Amino acid sequence: MDDFPGKRQDDKRELPERLRQAVNEPPGQPKDDEVDLLGLVSTIWQRKWIVAAFGFGFAILAIALAYSLTPRYTATSIVMLDRAESNIIDVEAVTTGLGQDYYTILAQKQVLQSRSLAERVVESMQLENEVYFNPLLEEEEDPSLVAEILFGGINLLKTTIRGAVTEDEDGPTLRDELGENYWVRQVAVDTLLGSLAVDSVSDTYVYSLSVTTENPVLSTKIANKMAELYITDQLETKFEATQAATEWLSDRVAQLKVEVEDAEAAVEAYNSSTALISEAALAQMNRQLKELRERRADLERQQVSGGGRQNDLRALLEAGDYAGFAAAVDVPRLTSLAQNIEEATGETRVALEETFQSLAGRMVDQAGVEEDRTDSQLAGINASIAGLETQLESQTQDLVQLRQLQREAEASRRIYEQFLRRLNETSVQEGTQQADARVLSEAVVPLLPSYPNKTQIVLVAGFLGGVFGIAYVLLIEQLNKSFRSSDELEKATGLPVMGQIPVAPVRLRRGLLDYAVERPSSGLVEAIRNLRTGVMLANIDRRPEMIMLTSTLPKEGKTTCSLLLAQNAAGLGKKVLLIECDLRRRTFRTYFPGAPKLGMMSILSGDKTWDEVVYHDERTGLDVIMGEETKVNAADVFHSQRFQEFLAEARRRYDFVVIDTPPVMAVPDSRVIAPMVDAVIYCVRWNSTHKDLVRAGLAQFSQIKVSVSGLALTQINLKKMARYGYGGYNYYYYKSSNRYYLN
């Protein structure tokens, strides 16, 4: 298509970089891994009334639901654990109080929530006779047809399931074996546990017992009764423990008493059966035995030292060794006689020897007597020692046995006395037991229901409604793929938006030009003036004279823009020509009912002259060349040399030429004509045309290296735009249109 003579040199330049990026990846769009928070907030704010409607609707439903629910009342009693334990008697208690550690506090909370305590409350207050705790009573009170059908279906379903999972269909069930009363009682207990809430006040020793039912008085009674039975349970537990300890101690004391008596009887019997002397006499025997052993030792030493003395002395005497004998006995007289004998001679010596032998003989005999006496004494002492040892050993064994029996008797007596003392203490404790908790505050009858909390329900419902509203807004915004503002259109395409054209406020097409002529100060005409100004300023160096308008799809307002743009230019006193090049879908005759039947094809074929075909509209002051049906393909017609000459003649004759062409995605006509004009205006219908289609349509021009001068956002519903908050200045001039425009 470079061989078109009418094509301008500057049309051969490359498509601007931002348009090429817009075709492949539209600039200004957040990346996949980025979140446009400002855009989200703006979108939500634009649809704030939808969000408010959701919130208000949810709140209305919540109010209806809240008033349809059965109110429930919560009564709360306060129980506190006593940390200080008072002990009336100054003895060690048999059963100690509760510990004050963290785990004990948790344990007491579980006691308050225990099933056994709940069963006692149910039994004490006979809650199985209350409808709230026994649904069977409600069935009996309201035997409606619906209830009968419902419970009949449930029973049939239960029977069917039971028959499917069990083999014995006729056998008794567990419910039959336990009894109906048992099941009713368990249901009441389960309901009470579900209605009970036990909380530790800020992890202290104070517990709050809250009971919620449909009857405020019943809730109060149950809360107070549960606190009362909790304390009673503590007392009973302590009393039972003390009583059990007393019974055990009584039995044990009786056994110990018998054991003590038996031990003491054994001591007495042993004393009477043995000839046991006193411990003092036994000590005296030990001392006597010690003295005998010492005496025996002395005699044994004498026996050793004097053994054989008699024989030694006799041998010295017989040998005539008087000096040696005298030295052995160490007797002065004998020593003197021995010396005299040594000195004497003769008869004197004989007389002295006889005297010496006489005295020595007596000394020898005396030595023998002394040896015999020593042996006799040693034998007597040995006999005495043996007797004392035997007697002492026997007495010692008896004494050890006696002491063992006495110790056993004493130990039994002490154990008996200790258990007897604990028994007395326990007996006293039975009347002085105190609970480890006390009621700090009794429950009072609540005047207002705790459920449902209407304010909270409405606020939560309103909040959830707002959340759903926001989700709905974001969803519809995500699903919407059309353009609602010039900013979106510019970011998606990279091209400027030259005009934002509102919907023409006319019912019929033929009234469009009349409206534009009669109301030159209307918002529609002002928008066309803005479009005209944008087109004129698109190329300051060379003002566009031939302008082509096209769109992506049919019914996007390109024909309306063409008519009004031409009419507006003619209103400036310029000579303007409007050409209908949409030969397949000709609509100009609707706007110009007085136009001739002949059109552009007659000029191209040479059958008619310009003056015979051109229609001058007196209302608008512009000239119009109608489209004409042809058997030749329209694209071929526009591709011909005659059409190029036709456009050249139009340039020569008129100041401005406005060409209305078919949609670019429908037929190739507009792509054939685009290289021959000065400016291309691409019309996009507001909130209708898909973004991808717009990009695809612009890509058609980029492929033939034709630059689209600008965009026109058409058929804008100003009311919706104002409600959504879209549209830039159109939003503001709509809000002030009654002041500035005469629509």
CATH number for the domain that contains residue 559: 3.40.50.300
Given pLDDT bands bounded at 50, 70 and 90, which one contains residue 352? confident
For 165, counting Cβ atoms within 10 Å of its Cβ (0-12 exposed, 13-18 middle, 19+ buried), the class is: exposed
In-domain check, residue 32 = no
3-state SS of 490-537?
Answer: HHHHCCCEEEEEECCCCCCCCHHHHHHHHCCCCHHHHHHHHHHHHHHC
Nearest CA to 610 out of 571, 640, 654, 574 is that of: 654
Higher pLDDT, residue 163 or 256: 256
CB–CB of 677/546 below 8 Å? yes
In-domain check, residue 294 = yes
pLDDT at res. 493: 93
666 has pLDDT over 60: yes
Q: Are residues 542 and 627 in the same domain?
A: yes
- Total count of domains within the chain: 2
Q: Are residues 505 and 376 in the same domain?
A: no
pLDDT at res. 176: 62
Q: Could you give the CA distance from residue 104 to residue 272 in angstroms, rounded to a whole number?
A: 60
CB–CB of 449/71 below 8 Å? yes
52 has pLDDT over 80: yes
399 has pLDDT over 80: no
127 has pLDDT over 80: yes
CB–CB of 73/452 below 8 Å? no
pLDDT at res. 134: 84
> Could you please report the per-residue DSSP string of 180-247?
HHHHHHHHHHHHHHHHEEEEEGGGSSEEEEEEEES-HHHHHHHHHHHHHHHHHHHHHHHHHHHHHHHH
Lowest model confidence (mean pLDDT) among 79-88, 551-560, 584-593, 718-727: 79-88
CB–CB of 24/494 below 8 Å? no
548 has pLDDT over 90: yes
pLDDT at res. 15: 40
Task: Find the distance separating the first CA and the last CA of the chain, reported in whole Å.
Answer: 45
Long-range contacts of 233-238 (CB under 8 A, 24+ apart): 233/111, 233/117, 233/120, 234/435, 234/436, 234/437, 235/433, 235/434, 235/435, 238/95, 238/433, 238/435
In-domain check, residue 454 = no
Rounded alpha-carbon distances, angstroms, from residue 281 to 269, 272, 288, 291, 584: 22, 18, 10, 15, 155
In-domain check, residue 607 = yes
Beta strand 546-551 pairing with 710-716: unpaired
346 has pLDDT over 90: no
pTM flag (> 0.75):
no
pLDDT at res. 18: 42
Q: Are residues 420 and 547 in the same domain?
A: no
> Which range in 128-132, 276-280, 559-563 is most confidently predicted, on average pLDDT?
559-563
Given pLDDT bands bounded at 50, 70 and 90, which one contains residue 407? confident
pLDDT at res. 722: 67
Q: Residue 734 is encoded by which pair of tokens?
A: 């709509």
Higher pLDDT, residue 465 or 521: 465
Residue 690: how many other CB atoms lie within 10 Å:
14
pLDDT at res. 66: 83
Q: Is the peptide bond before 449 cis (omega within 30 degrees of 0)?
A: no
Residue 579 φ then ψ, to 5°: -115, 130
pLDDT at res. 29: 45
Q: Could you give the CA distance from residue 436 to residue 479 in angstroms, rounded to a whole number?
A: 67
Beta strand 437-441 pairing with 497-502: unpaired
Q: Are residues 498 and 582 in the same domain?
A: yes
pLDDT at res. 154: 58
In-domain check, residue 73 = no
Lowest model confidence (mean pLDDT) among 90-99, 208-217, 267-276, 598-607: 90-99
Q: Which amino acid is at 608?
A: K
> Which range in 221-235, 425-439, 721-735 is most confidently predicted, on average pLDDT?
221-235
Report the chain's mean pLDDT, rounded to a whole number: 79
pLDDT at res. 95: 46
- Rounded average pLDDT over 649-671: 95
For 556-612, the pLDDT digits (tens) are 999 999 999 999 999 888 999 999 999 988 999 999 988 888 899 999 999 999 999
Q: Are residues 670 and 571 in the same domain?
A: yes
Nearest CA to 368 out of 328, 316, 314 is that of: 314
Positive/negative CA dihedral, 407, 411, 414, 416? negative
Nearest CA to 326 out of 303, 359, 351, 304 is that of: 359
Nearest CA to 326 out of 335, 318, 314, 317 is that of: 335
CB–CB of 683/550 below 8 Å? yes
In-domain check, residue 418 = yes
Q: Residue 504 is encoded by which pair of tokens?
A: 């023409």
Q: Which residues contact 351 (CB under 8 A, 6 or more apart)?
A: none
302 has pLDDT over 80: no
In-domain check, residue 341 = yes
> Could you please report the per-residue DSSP string of 676-697?
GSSEEEEEEETTTS-HHHHHHH
In sequence order, the β-bridge partners of residue 229 are none
Q: Residue 667 is encoded by which pair of tokens?
A: 């037929």
Higher pLDDT, residue 71 or 98: 71
- Rounded average pLDDT over 120-136: 87
Positive/negative CA dihedral, 65, 69, 75, 80? negative
> Which range in 8-17, 286-295, 324-333 is most confidently predicted, on average pLDDT?
286-295
- Give the H/E segment covering residue 617: strand 615-617
For 564, counting Cβ atoms within 10 Å of its Cβ (0-12 exposed, 13-18 middle, 19+ buried), the class is: buried
Q: Could you give the CA distance from residue 404 to residue 666 in angstroms, rounded to a whole number?
A: 127
Q: Are residues 406 and 519 in the same domain?
A: no
Q: Could you give the CA distance from residue 335 to residue 369 in angstroms, rounded to a whole number?
A: 22
Q: Could you give the CA distance from residue 235 to residue 283 in angstroms, rounded to a whole number?
A: 63
Question: Last residue of some domain: 401, 429, 457?
Answer: 429
396 has pLDDT over 90: no
Question: Last residue of some domain: 429, 452, 475?
Answer: 429
Q: Are residues 564 and 415 in the same domain?
A: no
- Rounded average pLDDT over 150-174: 57
Q: Are residues 319 and 408 in the same domain?
A: yes
Lowest model confidence (mean pLDDT) among 271-280, 431-440, 537-546: 271-280
- Provide, rounded to the nearest whole percent, the portion of the chain with pLDDT above 70: 78
Q: Are residues 715 and 581 in the same domain?
A: yes
CB–CB of 635/667 below 8 Å? yes
> Which range in 52-61, 80-89, 535-544 is most confidently predicted, on average pLDDT?
52-61
Q: Are residues 626 and 730 in the same domain?
A: yes
Q: Are residues 593 and 711 in the same domain?
A: yes
363 has pLDDT over 70: yes
- Rounded average pLDDT over 654-667: 95
Q: Could you give the CA distance from residue 686 to residue 556 in angstroms, rounded to a whole number?
A: 8
User: Edge-to-edge strand order for the sheet containing 206-213?
Assistant: 196-200, 206-213, 73-81, 437-441
pLDDT at res. 152: 60
In-domain check, residue 79 = no
> Which range in 278-292, 531-545, 618-632, 715-729 is most confidently predicted, on average pLDDT?
618-632
Long-range contacts of 353-359 (CB under 8 A, 24+ apart): 353/320, 353/322, 356/322, 357/317, 359/331, 359/333, 359/334
Residue 382 φ then ψ, to 5°: -60, -40
Query: Where does residue 25 fall: left (phi above 0), alpha (psi -120 to 50 degrees), or beta otherwise?
Result: beta
pLDDT at res. 624: 96
Q: Could you give the CA distance from residue 323 to residue 339 in angstroms, rounded to a whole number?
A: 7
Q: Could you give the CA distance from residue 595 to residue 321 in angstroms, rounded to a whole number?
A: 203
- Rounded average pLDDT over 702-720: 91
pLDDT at res. 14: 40
Radius of gyration of the chain (CA): 67
Given pLDDT bands bounded at 50, 70 and 90, which one contains residue 162? low
Q: Could you give the CA distance from residue 244 to residue 235 in angstroms, rounded to a whole number?
A: 14
Question: Last residue of some domain: 372, 397, 429?
Answer: 429
User: Edge-to-edge strand order for the sheet containing 710-716?
Assistant: 497-502, 710-716, 679-685, 546-551, 656-660, 576-580, 622-625, 615-617
What domain range is 512 assigned to? 9-26+494-740
Q: Could you give the CA distance from residue 470 to residue 464 in angstroms, rounded to a whole number?
A: 10
Higher pLDDT, residue 293 or 552: 552
For 459-475, the pLDDT digits (tens) are 998 999 999 999 988 88
Q: Residue 707 is encoded by which pair of tokens?
A: 């630059």
Q: Are residues 722 and 580 in the same domain?
A: yes
> Which range in 156-160, 252-256, 643-647, 716-720 is most confidently predicted, on average pLDDT?
643-647
